[in-house]
Chain A
């Protein structure tokens, strides 16, 4: 009787020890070993600390995609968190269609998600939605009224209320537009992360033209703000990890994988305060504290 009692207690204790492993088993699949993934992964893991997390790096020599597909098919996890295009394609290539794929860090992911091969999934876009950008810019300077975005002619993005997309073919055309807007105090120009446009233009010349015309030029990275752009709004990689964890857990609990891509919640706003003073843009000092992550002076 006493031995049986001990057995029961031992089993109970073992059960308690195994408690953390009772959660879901989630695989983080990385296309590459990139520094920008680390903040997202750290936040994701912190929110899934009661679950079993495995990290797999796809590496041509040691862990090629085909081998990863076999590993996932052999021991299917509850879900895969795929970072990057290769990781997403690998997840979608598994034979086991019950493995859902949550993805991010995928450029032009719309094209990828179309080829999901019957897998369940959802994603978080890398781009801050134009609507969100517009909202934040209007909060920063309530007096701004007209917003233009320059894109390549092949860009399919359509204008939204308050933001007009202007297809352009090169630097000279943008310079001309900026000159025509000279002196208008309520105008802002945005250069979205359009790879085709970026390959066609000379950013230094455009930055110079915007400064001459005194038109705030919103770019897409801190480096370009430091190079003379007015501001940039990009995503916050840590918040991206928290968002991914929340969406994944909700989908695992409900079994609902909407197959859609959402915009990122966390943002990272950089403002060139020195330039703001030079071109006569007034920003409430308290907004620098509340909204702006990096101030360039």
Chain B
């Protein structure tokens, strides 16, 4: 009898723990490490925006947690199984984290969904013994997206993390660094008006395609009404000034 009671108690404890985990009020939103360049600002603005948007609906606003390192993101998703993940689908699949999540919306950035990174060097300069590299992307991110034969350059270079691709490009043009990593669409736009950059700089390597982040929702997390409210908050982001500021921080135009 005692064994039966204990079994029942353990069962109920596990059941309520599971429920609690599923209904965790801390519905953490993650952001893609590729574009999380001002994490604190992004968190504050996203939290405020979602709280404001959802306050009349009765749906608790998710609290966001920007993460700028791939490994930290992977660990967090594995351990906490957050309600909403914003990241590249490619990354989720590669790290087998996509199970139990459904893609709902895509972030549309500058009318381009995918982009590559370019590893650039100055044509006239030979990298020194202690090369410097400027990049707005962290080492972990670059390691995942550039081919194996680039790893020596990446690991032997001292990284200077910049806020914008442009800073890296300027540092390279002015020979303050030996290498710079910038997105191909930024480079294309800049050489359109400044063809001299193309003459000065050499593209050493292209990365794999980087997908723009998608919004993934944990299955069975929200009822259909709440889900629609949450998605509408993202979809309408480009329709009000606070949302547009937020999109600007993400470097994108809209959620669709």
Contact = CB atoms under 8 A, between A and B. Distances in A.
Interface of A: 43, 47, 129, 131-132, 135-136, 138-139, 142, 236, 238-239, 242-243, 246, 249-250, 253-254, 262-263, 265-267, 284, 286-287, 289-291, 293, 295
Interface in B117-134: 129-130, 132, 134
A240 B163 CA distance: 11
Nearest to A239: B162
B158 A132 contact: no
A236 B129 CA distance: 27
A130 B41 CA distance: 30
A240 B110 CA distance: 28
B206 interface: no
Contact of A246 (B129, B160, B174, B186): B160
Contacts of B164: 267, 290-291, 293
Given A131-B174, A246-B160, A250-B132, 17 more contacts: A136-B170, A142-B194, A238-B163, A242-B162, A249-B158, A250-B130, A253-B130, A262-B176, A284-B189, A286-B189, A289-B110, A290-B165, A290-B186, A290-B189, A291-B166, A293-B163, A293-B164
A176 B189 CA distance: 38
B243 to A, nearest CB: 15
Contact of B160 (A131, A139, A243, A286): A243
Central interface residue in B159, B160, B176, B177, by most chain A CB within 10 Å? B160
B162 A265 contact: yes
B174 to A, nearest CB: 7
Contacts of A138: 194
B150 to A, nearest CB: 19
10 contacts: A142-B193, A236-B163, A239-B161, A239-B167, A250-B132, A263-B176, A265-B177, A286-B110, A290-B164, A291-B164
A286 B167 CA distance: 16
A281 to B, nearest CB: 15
Contact of A265 (B110, B176, B194, B248): B176
A139 B193 CA distance: 7
Identify the 3 closest CB pairs spanning chains A and B, nearest first: A142-B193, A246-B158, A250-B130
A236 B171 CA distance: 13
B251 interface: yes
A293 B38 CA distance: 11
Given A139-B194, A289-B110, A242 B161 contact: yes
Contacts of A249: 158
A138 B170 CA distance: 12
B60 interface: no
Central interface residue in A254, A263, A290, A295, by most chain B CB within 10 Å? A290
Contacts of A290: 164-166, 186, 189, 251
Nearest to B133: A246
Given A142-B193, A250-B130, A253-B130, A266 B162 contact: yes
A241 to B, nearest CB: 9
Contacts of A242: 159-162
A273 B170 CA distance: 23
Contacts of B132: 246, 250
A142 B194 CA distance: 8
Contacts of B229: none
Contacts of B163: 236, 238-239, 266, 293
